[in-house]
Amino acid sequence: MPVTWRCNCPRRPSAPPPSPLRRRAPSPVPRASATCWPPERPWSSCDRRARAPSPLGWHPPPRATSVRGPGRSCAPTGWPTTARPPSPRWPTPRSCRRPHSPGRTSTSPERCSSGSPRTAMRCPPEHPSTSSWGSAPPGQRTDDMARSPRPPKALIPLVLVLVLVAAGVGGWYWWQGRSRSTTTSEALTGIVETTTYQVAALAAGRVTEVKVAEGDRVAEGDVMVRLDDRTSALQVTQAEAAVTAAKAAVRQAVDDKVSAADLEAARARQTQAEAARSLAEVQRDQTTVRAPHAGTVTTVSTNVGQSAAPGRTLVTVVDPTQPYVRIYLPEPRLGEAHIGQQVDITSDIDATTRHGTVTTIATDPEFSPHNIVTKSQRISLVYEVRVRIDDTSGALKAGLPVDVALR
Protein backbone atom coordinates (compact mmCIF):
# COMPACT_ATOMS: atom_id res chain seq x y z
CA MET A 1 0.00 0.00 0.00
CA PRO A 2 1.63 3.30 -1.00
CA VAL A 3 2.42 5.81 1.75
CA THR A 4 0.73 9.17 1.41
CA TRP A 5 2.50 12.28 2.67
CA ARG A 6 0.23 15.07 3.74
CA CYS A 7 1.18 18.53 5.06
CA ASN A 8 -1.46 20.61 6.72
CA CYS A 9 0.16 24.01 7.17
CA PRO A 10 -2.33 26.73 8.19
CA ARG A 11 -1.08 30.11 7.21
CA ARG A 12 -0.46 32.69 9.87
CA PRO A 13 -2.24 36.03 9.66
CA SER A 14 0.08 38.94 9.36
CA ALA A 15 -0.19 42.20 11.29
CA PRO A 16 1.63 45.51 11.18
CA PRO A 17 4.89 45.50 13.13
CA PRO A 18 4.63 46.70 16.74
CA SER A 19 6.03 50.06 17.71
CA PRO A 20 9.64 49.79 18.92
CA LEU A 21 8.97 52.33 21.71
CA ARG A 22 6.60 50.14 23.69
CA ARG A 23 6.19 46.51 24.41
CA ARG A 24 3.27 44.73 22.92
CA ALA A 25 0.89 43.08 25.36
CA PRO A 26 0.37 39.33 25.09
CA SER A 27 -2.05 38.50 22.28
CA PRO A 28 -5.16 36.64 23.34
CA VAL A 29 -5.10 34.75 20.02
CA PRO A 30 -3.13 31.47 20.25
CA ARG A 31 0.09 31.39 18.34
CA ALA A 32 -0.32 29.97 14.87
CA SER A 33 1.82 26.95 14.15
CA ALA A 34 2.34 24.37 11.50
CA THR A 35 2.64 20.66 11.99
CA CYS A 36 4.31 18.56 9.37
CA TRP A 37 4.33 14.79 9.04
CA PRO A 38 7.01 13.79 9.35
CA PRO A 39 8.92 16.76 10.74
CA GLU A 40 12.02 15.84 8.80
CA ARG A 41 10.27 16.05 5.38
CA PRO A 42 11.57 18.95 3.31
CA TRP A 43 9.17 21.30 1.68
CA SER A 44 7.86 20.17 -1.67
CA SER A 45 7.44 22.31 -4.73
CA CYS A 46 3.73 22.56 -4.09
CA ASP A 47 4.44 24.04 -0.72
CA ARG A 48 6.76 26.54 -2.28
CA ARG A 49 4.16 27.52 -4.86
CA ALA A 50 1.55 27.85 -2.15
CA ARG A 51 3.82 30.09 -0.09
CA ALA A 52 5.28 32.10 -2.94
CA PRO A 53 4.47 35.84 -2.75
CA SER A 54 1.41 36.75 -4.70
CA PRO A 55 1.19 39.96 -6.73
CA LEU A 56 -2.27 40.44 -5.29
CA GLY A 57 -0.77 41.03 -1.83
CA TRP A 58 -2.36 37.95 -0.28
CA HIS A 59 -2.46 34.22 -0.84
CA PRO A 60 -5.74 32.69 -1.91
CA PRO A 61 -6.43 29.24 -0.51
CA PRO A 62 -5.63 26.34 -2.86
CA ARG A 63 -8.55 24.86 -4.70
CA ALA A 64 -7.51 21.24 -4.67
CA THR A 65 -4.88 18.83 -3.55
CA SER A 66 -1.99 18.42 -5.96
CA VAL A 67 -0.07 15.17 -6.13
CA ARG A 68 3.64 15.21 -6.77
CA GLY A 69 5.09 11.84 -7.61
CA PRO A 70 3.87 8.39 -6.86
CA GLY A 71 2.48 7.93 -3.43
CA ARG A 72 3.07 11.54 -2.33
CA SER A 73 0.49 14.24 -1.95
CA CYS A 74 0.49 17.75 -0.51
CA ALA A 75 -2.73 19.24 0.68
CA PRO A 76 -2.15 22.73 2.12
CA THR A 77 -5.13 24.01 3.97
CA GLY A 78 -6.76 27.36 3.22
CA TRP A 79 -6.78 30.53 5.25
CA PRO A 80 -9.06 30.68 8.29
CA THR A 81 -12.22 32.58 7.63
CA THR A 82 -11.52 34.94 10.55
CA ALA A 83 -7.91 35.73 9.67
CA ARG A 84 -6.72 38.58 7.48
CA PRO A 85 -4.52 37.95 4.45
CA PRO A 86 -0.85 38.71 5.02
CA SER A 87 0.60 42.03 4.03
CA PRO A 88 2.94 42.08 1.01
CA ARG A 89 5.52 43.83 3.18
CA TRP A 90 5.84 40.79 5.39
CA PRO A 91 5.74 37.53 3.42
CA THR A 92 4.62 34.42 5.19
CA PRO A 93 7.61 32.73 6.90
CA ARG A 94 8.62 29.41 5.50
CA SER A 95 9.51 27.89 8.80
CA CYS A 96 7.78 24.89 10.17
CA ARG A 97 8.37 24.72 13.85
CA ARG A 98 6.93 22.57 16.53
CA PRO A 99 4.58 24.53 18.77
CA HIS A 100 5.99 25.34 22.15
CA SER A 101 4.14 24.23 25.24
CA PRO A 102 5.05 26.03 28.48
CA GLY A 103 6.63 23.72 31.00
CA ARG A 104 7.52 21.03 28.44
CA THR A 105 11.14 20.15 27.84
CA SER A 106 11.96 19.14 24.31
CA THR A 107 13.92 15.88 24.03
CA SER A 108 14.82 16.32 20.35
CA PRO A 109 16.18 19.43 18.67
CA GLU A 110 13.75 21.49 16.67
CA ARG A 111 14.27 21.44 12.95
CA CYS A 112 13.92 24.05 10.28
CA SER A 113 12.03 23.71 7.06
CA SER A 114 15.03 22.02 5.47
CA GLY A 115 14.95 19.24 8.04
CA SER A 116 18.31 20.12 9.60
CA PRO A 117 18.66 20.69 13.31
CA ARG A 118 18.37 24.30 14.47
CA THR A 119 21.97 24.32 15.58
CA ALA A 120 23.17 23.50 12.09
CA MET A 121 21.59 26.38 10.21
CA ARG A 122 19.61 29.53 10.97
CA CYS A 123 15.91 29.49 10.28
CA PRO A 124 14.27 32.38 8.42
CA PRO A 125 13.10 35.19 10.73
CA GLU A 126 9.49 35.18 11.75
CA HIS A 127 7.06 38.02 11.34
CA PRO A 128 7.11 40.17 14.55
CA SER A 129 3.36 39.74 14.97
CA THR A 130 3.69 35.96 15.11
CA SER A 131 6.07 36.00 18.08
CA SER A 132 4.52 34.88 21.31
CA TRP A 133 5.16 37.48 23.99
CA GLY A 134 5.69 36.02 27.37
CA SER A 135 6.21 32.46 26.04
CA ALA A 136 9.71 32.28 27.52
CA PRO A 137 10.11 30.36 30.76
CA PRO A 138 10.14 32.41 33.97
CA GLY A 139 13.47 34.11 34.61
CA GLN A 140 14.47 34.25 30.93
CA ARG A 141 14.15 37.11 28.45
CA THR A 142 12.54 36.70 25.09
CA ASP A 143 14.08 37.99 21.87
CA ASP A 144 11.53 40.85 21.69
CA MET A 145 12.55 41.98 25.18
CA ALA A 146 16.23 41.81 24.29
CA ARG A 147 15.69 43.77 21.09
CA SER A 148 13.36 46.43 22.62
CA PRO A 149 14.87 49.94 22.22
CA ARG A 150 15.95 51.83 25.31
CA PRO A 151 16.38 55.57 25.76
CA PRO A 152 19.97 56.72 25.47
CA LYS A 153 21.72 57.31 28.76
CA ALA A 154 22.91 60.75 27.64
CA LEU A 155 19.32 62.09 27.85
CA ILE A 156 18.81 61.13 31.51
CA PRO A 157 20.88 64.03 32.99
CA LEU A 158 19.18 66.49 30.64
CA VAL A 159 15.73 65.31 31.71
CA LEU A 160 16.69 65.56 35.38
CA VAL A 161 17.99 69.11 34.91
CA LEU A 162 14.78 70.16 33.16
CA VAL A 163 12.67 68.66 35.95
CA LEU A 164 14.69 70.45 38.63
CA VAL A 165 14.47 73.78 36.81
CA ALA A 166 10.71 73.43 36.38
CA ALA A 167 10.30 72.53 40.05
CA GLY A 168 12.41 75.53 41.11
CA VAL A 169 10.46 77.98 38.97
CA GLY A 170 7.13 76.59 40.16
CA GLY A 171 8.24 76.75 43.79
CA TRP A 172 9.35 80.36 43.41
CA TYR A 173 6.01 81.42 41.92
CA TRP A 174 4.16 79.52 44.66
CA TRP A 175 6.18 81.21 47.39
CA GLN A 176 5.62 84.67 45.88
CA GLY A 177 1.88 84.09 45.72
CA ARG A 178 1.82 82.74 49.26
CA SER A 179 3.80 85.69 50.61
CA ARG A 180 1.52 88.15 48.83
CA SER A 181 -1.65 86.50 50.13
CA THR A 182 -0.20 86.23 53.64
CA THR A 183 0.71 89.91 53.67
CA THR A 184 -2.75 90.88 52.45
CA SER A 185 -4.85 88.71 54.76
CA GLU A 186 -2.61 88.54 57.85
CA ALA A 187 -4.58 89.05 61.04
CA LEU A 188 -3.49 91.66 63.55
CA THR A 189 -3.32 90.94 67.27
CA GLY A 190 -4.89 93.25 69.79
CA ILE A 191 -6.08 93.35 73.39
CA VAL A 192 -9.71 93.75 74.37
CA GLU A 193 -10.22 96.94 76.29
CA THR A 194 -13.26 98.53 77.85
CA THR A 195 -14.23 101.98 79.05
CA THR A 196 -12.72 102.32 82.50
CA TYR A 197 -13.74 104.84 85.16
CA GLN A 198 -11.24 105.71 87.88
CA VAL A 199 -13.42 106.99 90.73
CA ALA A 200 -11.54 109.23 93.19
CA ALA A 201 -12.49 111.24 96.26
CA LEU A 202 -13.04 114.96 95.74
CA ALA A 203 -12.62 115.90 99.38
CA ALA A 204 -10.23 114.90 102.08
CA GLY A 205 -11.51 112.75 104.88
CA ARG A 206 -11.50 109.44 106.61
CA VAL A 207 -13.25 106.50 104.99
CA THR A 208 -16.19 105.51 107.13
CA GLU A 209 -17.98 103.04 104.83
CA VAL A 210 -17.19 100.92 101.72
CA LYS A 211 -20.39 99.59 100.17
CA VAL A 212 -19.02 97.71 97.10
CA ALA A 213 -16.63 94.86 96.41
CA GLU A 214 -14.73 93.70 93.35
CA GLY A 215 -17.03 92.15 90.77
CA ASP A 216 -20.17 93.93 91.90
CA ARG A 217 -22.47 95.45 89.32
CA VAL A 218 -23.36 99.05 90.03
CA ALA A 219 -25.75 101.48 88.43
CA GLU A 220 -25.12 105.10 87.73
CA GLY A 221 -25.34 107.13 90.97
CA ASP A 222 -24.99 104.20 93.40
CA VAL A 223 -23.04 104.98 96.59
CA MET A 224 -19.75 103.09 96.77
CA VAL A 225 -17.68 104.83 99.51
CA ARG A 226 -18.55 107.29 102.29
CA LEU A 227 -16.15 109.65 104.04
CA ASP A 228 -16.47 111.37 107.38
CA ASP A 229 -18.97 114.19 106.74
CA ARG A 230 -19.39 115.67 110.22
CA THR A 231 -17.37 118.78 109.41
CA SER A 232 -19.18 119.41 106.17
CA ALA A 233 -22.51 118.86 107.87
CA LEU A 234 -21.72 121.54 110.48
CA GLN A 235 -20.73 123.90 107.71
CA VAL A 236 -24.05 123.31 106.03
CA THR A 237 -25.90 124.05 109.27
CA GLN A 238 -23.95 127.22 109.77
CA ALA A 239 -24.65 128.33 106.21
CA GLU A 240 -28.35 127.71 106.64
CA ALA A 241 -28.39 129.87 109.78
CA ALA A 242 -26.66 132.65 107.93
CA VAL A 243 -29.24 132.46 105.21
CA THR A 244 -32.04 132.67 107.75
CA ALA A 245 -30.52 135.75 109.36
CA ALA A 246 -30.06 137.43 106.00
CA LYS A 247 -33.66 136.89 105.11
CA ALA A 248 -34.82 138.40 108.42
CA ALA A 249 -32.66 141.46 107.85
CA VAL A 250 -34.19 142.02 104.46
CA ARG A 251 -37.71 141.81 105.90
CA GLN A 252 -36.81 144.26 108.67
CA ALA A 253 -35.40 146.72 106.16
CA VAL A 254 -38.56 146.56 104.15
CA ASP A 255 -40.73 147.13 107.24
CA ASP A 256 -38.58 150.06 108.40
CA LYS A 257 -38.74 151.66 105.01
CA VAL A 258 -35.02 152.20 104.98
CA SER A 259 -33.28 153.76 102.14
CA ALA A 260 -32.86 151.90 98.93
CA ALA A 261 -29.13 151.50 99.49
CA ASP A 262 -29.60 149.83 102.85
CA LEU A 263 -32.27 147.54 101.44
CA GLU A 264 -29.99 146.53 98.61
CA ALA A 265 -27.15 145.75 101.03
CA ALA A 266 -29.46 143.52 103.11
CA ARG A 267 -30.50 141.59 100.06
CA ALA A 268 -26.82 141.13 99.01
CA ARG A 269 -26.01 139.65 102.41
CA GLN A 270 -28.90 137.21 101.96
CA THR A 271 -27.58 136.12 98.57
CA GLN A 272 -24.11 135.62 100.02
CA ALA A 273 -25.48 133.47 102.83
CA GLU A 274 -27.38 131.31 100.38
CA ALA A 275 -24.21 130.81 98.29
CA ALA A 276 -22.27 129.79 101.37
CA ARG A 277 -24.97 127.30 102.19
CA SER A 278 -24.80 125.80 98.68
CA LEU A 279 -21.02 125.49 98.94
CA ALA A 280 -21.34 123.72 102.27
CA GLU A 281 -23.84 121.32 100.78
CA VAL A 282 -21.51 120.55 97.86
CA GLN A 283 -18.64 119.87 100.23
CA ARG A 284 -20.88 117.61 102.21
CA ASP A 285 -21.87 115.71 99.06
CA GLN A 286 -18.21 115.24 98.12
CA THR A 287 -17.77 113.00 101.11
CA THR A 288 -19.95 110.44 99.33
CA VAL A 289 -18.32 108.60 96.36
CA ARG A 290 -20.88 107.53 93.79
CA ALA A 291 -20.67 105.45 90.55
CA PRO A 292 -20.29 107.73 87.52
CA HIS A 293 -21.55 105.07 85.08
CA ALA A 294 -23.16 101.68 85.15
CA GLY A 295 -20.63 98.88 85.05
CA THR A 296 -18.67 96.35 87.03
CA VAL A 297 -16.40 97.13 89.95
CA THR A 298 -12.96 95.77 89.15
CA THR A 299 -10.83 97.36 91.86
CA VAL A 300 -11.45 98.70 95.36
CA SER A 301 -8.39 100.56 96.59
CA THR A 302 -9.48 101.64 100.07
CA ASN A 303 -10.74 100.28 103.34
CA VAL A 304 -12.68 101.65 106.27
CA GLY A 305 -10.54 103.89 108.46
CA GLN A 306 -8.10 104.93 105.78
CA SER A 307 -7.64 108.56 104.87
CA ALA A 308 -8.66 109.68 101.42
CA ALA A 309 -6.96 112.55 99.68
CA PRO A 310 -8.50 114.55 96.87
CA GLY A 311 -7.69 112.90 93.51
CA ARG A 312 -6.81 109.50 94.96
CA THR A 313 -8.56 106.60 93.14
CA LEU A 314 -10.76 104.61 95.48
CA VAL A 315 -12.80 102.40 93.10
CA THR A 316 -12.39 101.34 89.46
CA VAL A 317 -15.51 100.68 87.40
CA VAL A 318 -15.48 99.09 83.94
CA ASP A 319 -18.30 99.28 81.43
CA PRO A 320 -18.44 95.82 79.71
CA THR A 321 -21.10 96.93 77.26
CA GLN A 322 -18.64 99.04 75.27
CA PRO A 323 -15.62 96.82 74.49
CA TYR A 324 -13.11 97.75 71.84
CA VAL A 325 -9.80 96.52 70.45
CA ARG A 326 -6.75 98.63 69.85
CA ILE A 327 -4.57 97.29 67.03
CA TYR A 328 -1.49 98.68 65.35
CA LEU A 329 -1.46 98.69 61.56
CA PRO A 330 1.92 98.69 59.75
CA GLU A 331 2.62 101.60 57.46
CA PRO A 332 2.45 99.55 54.20
CA ARG A 333 -1.05 98.38 55.13
CA LEU A 334 -2.43 101.73 56.21
CA GLY A 335 -4.53 101.97 53.06
CA GLU A 336 -6.43 98.80 53.97
CA ALA A 337 -8.36 100.43 56.84
CA HIS A 338 -10.93 103.22 56.82
CA ILE A 339 -13.51 104.59 59.22
CA GLY A 340 -16.63 102.42 59.37
CA GLN A 341 -14.90 99.35 57.93
CA GLN A 342 -16.16 95.97 59.14
CA VAL A 343 -13.67 93.50 60.64
CA ASP A 344 -13.73 89.90 61.89
CA ILE A 345 -12.64 89.20 65.46
CA THR A 346 -11.64 85.75 66.76
CA SER A 347 -10.35 84.63 70.14
CA ASP A 348 -9.11 81.50 71.86
CA ILE A 349 -12.04 81.18 74.25
CA ASP A 350 -14.36 79.81 71.55
CA ALA A 351 -14.67 79.31 67.81
CA THR A 352 -17.14 82.15 67.35
CA THR A 353 -16.26 84.87 64.85
CA ARG A 354 -17.45 88.24 66.08
CA HIS A 355 -17.66 91.45 64.13
CA GLY A 356 -16.51 94.97 64.78
CA THR A 357 -16.29 98.42 63.25
CA VAL A 358 -13.28 100.70 62.83
CA THR A 359 -14.01 103.89 64.79
CA THR A 360 -10.72 105.81 64.85
CA ILE A 361 -7.40 105.76 62.98
CA ALA A 362 -4.45 107.64 64.41
CA THR A 363 -2.96 110.40 62.29
CA ASP A 364 0.50 110.19 63.86
CA PRO A 365 2.61 107.02 63.63
CA GLU A 366 4.18 105.26 66.58
CA PHE A 367 7.37 103.28 66.98
CA SER A 368 6.87 101.29 70.15
CA PRO A 369 3.27 100.41 70.97
CA HIS A 370 2.84 98.69 74.29
CA ASN A 371 1.71 95.29 72.95
CA ILE A 372 4.49 94.75 70.37
CA VAL A 373 7.53 92.94 71.74
CA THR A 374 9.49 91.70 68.72
CA LYS A 375 12.45 93.75 67.55
CA SER A 376 11.41 93.69 63.91
CA GLN A 377 8.07 95.26 64.82
CA ARG A 378 9.50 97.83 67.23
CA ILE A 379 11.58 99.48 64.54
CA SER A 380 8.72 99.83 62.06
CA LEU A 381 6.16 102.59 61.89
CA VAL A 382 2.66 101.61 62.94
CA TYR A 383 -0.65 103.43 63.28
CA GLU A 384 -3.10 102.89 66.11
CA VAL A 385 -6.55 101.74 64.98
CA ARG A 386 -9.44 101.39 67.41
CA VAL A 387 -12.16 98.86 66.61
CA ARG A 388 -15.49 98.80 68.42
CA ILE A 389 -16.75 95.28 69.14
CA ASP A 390 -20.39 94.80 68.22
CA ASP A 391 -20.90 92.02 70.78
CA THR A 392 -22.05 93.67 74.02
CA SER A 393 -22.80 90.46 75.93
CA GLY A 394 -19.57 90.74 77.90
CA ALA A 395 -18.13 87.44 76.63
CA LEU A 396 -14.87 89.15 75.65
CA LYS A 397 -13.32 90.25 78.91
CA ALA A 398 -10.92 93.13 79.22
CA GLY A 399 -7.32 92.07 78.65
CA LEU A 400 -8.18 89.12 76.39
CA PRO A 401 -5.94 88.84 73.28
CA VAL A 402 -7.85 88.57 70.01
CA ASP A 403 -7.07 88.44 66.29
CA VAL A 404 -8.53 91.11 64.03
CA ALA A 405 -8.81 90.49 60.26
CA LEU A 406 -9.64 93.40 58.01
CA ARG A 407 -12.20 92.67 55.31
User: What pLDDT is stored for residue 171 in this prediction?
Assistant: 85
State which H helix or E strand residue 276 sits in: helix 260-285
Contact 265, 290 (CB under 8 A): no
Q: What is the pTM of this model?
A: 0.45
Query: How would you list the strands of the sheet with 205-210, edge to edge?
Result: 288-290, 223-227, 205-210, 307-308
Neighbouring residues of 207: CB distance < 8 A, sequence distance ≥ 6: 225, 226, 227, 302, 303, 304, 305, 306, 307, 308, 314
User: What pLDDT is stored for residue 107 in this prediction?
Assistant: 45
Instruction: Round to whole Å and give the CA distance between 98 and 118.
Output: 12
Concatenated DSSP letters of 64-78: S-EE-STT-EE----
Q: Is 23 left (phi over 0), alpha (psi -120 to 50) or beta?
A: beta
Distances (CA, A) of 159 to 167, 169, 213: 12, 16, 78
Distances (CA, A) of 403 to 61, 117, 338, 388: 89, 90, 18, 14
Task: Indicate the CATH number of 196-308 among 2.40.30.170, 2.40.50.100, 3.30.420.40, 3.40.1790.10.
Answer: 2.40.50.100
Entry field: residues in the chain: 407
Distances (CA, A) of 211 to 48, 172, 223: 129, 67, 7
**What are φ and ψ of residue 48, in 5° steps?**
-65, -40
State which H helix or E strand residue 358 sits in: strand 354-361
User: What pLDDT is stored for residue 65 in this prediction?
Assistant: 46
- Per-domain boundaries in the chain: 1-147, 151-185, 188-194+319-406, 196-308
Using CB atoms within 10 Å of the CB of residue 176, give its burial: 0 to 12 exposed, 13 to 18 middle, 19+ buried: exposed
User: What pLDDT is stored for residue 224 in this prediction?
Assistant: 92
**What are φ and ψ of residue 404, in 5° steps?**
-115, 125
CATH superfamily of 188-194+319-406: Efflux pump adaptor protein, beta barrel domain (2.40.30.170)
Instruction: Round to whole Å and give the CA distance between 22 and 150.
Output: 10
User: What pLDDT is stored for residue 225 in this prediction?
Assistant: 92
Residues of the chain with pLDDT under 50: 29-51, 58, 64-83, 87-88, 90, 92, 94-99, 101, 103-136, 180-184
Contact 242, 273 (CB under 8 A): yes
Instruction: Round to whole Å and give the CA distance between 42 and 96.
Output: 10
**What are φ and ψ of residue 360, in 5° steps?**
-140, 150
User: What pLDDT is stored for residue 371 in this prediction?
Assistant: 59
Closest CA to 306 of 208, 203, 201: 208
